[in-house]
């Protein structure tokens, strides 16, 4: 039996709990999603969409029909290519707040000096 990645398992369980309001103790890895947990195909699709988004997995609707249990789902997800979340880009260099106003400020100072 394949080892299940803890991160994938945690993500799947969290999303299933969010969608179904089950407690974690109620979610057995070998429970049938539809038969034991009452998760219908529409809810499964919604759960899978959130799981794919959270894990960076491409949408493959034909794959969803294969999963009967949480364990089967998590194992399959662990074998799908994941796209890591994009890293934040470099922070833009901080610009002085008065950059656009500097010519105006210079003009005011020049006028003040000229008329004083």
**Tens of pLDDT along 53-81?**
998 887 765 555 578 999 999 988 887 77
Tokens of 104: 């105006």
Q: How far apart are the first and last CA of the chain?
A: 88
Nearest-angstrom CA–CA distance, 16 and 46: 10
Report pTM. 0.63
Digit-coded pLDDT (tens) for 13-42: 999 999 999 998 999 999 999 999 999 989
C-alpha 46: how far from chain center: 14
Q: What is the number of other CB atoms lying within 10 angstroms of the CB of residue 55?
A: 20
6-79: CATH class? mainly alpha
Q: Are 82 and 47 in contact (CB under 8 A)?
A: no
């Amino acid at each position: 039996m394949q080892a299940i990645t803890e991160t994938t398992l945690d993500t799947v369980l969290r999303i299933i709990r969010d969608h179904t309001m089950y407690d974690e103790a109620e979610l057995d890895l070998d429970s049938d999603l539809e038969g034991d947990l009452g998760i219908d195909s529409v809810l499964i699709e919604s759960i899978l969409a959130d799981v794919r988004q959270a894990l960076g997995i491409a949408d493959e609707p034909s794959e969803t029909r294969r999963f009967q249990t949480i364990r089967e789902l998590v194992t399959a997800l662990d074998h799908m290519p994941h796209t890591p979340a994009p890293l934040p880009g470099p922070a833009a260099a901080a610009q002085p707040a008065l950059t656009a106003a500097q010519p105006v400020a210079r003009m005011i100072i020049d006028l003040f000096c000229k008329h004083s």
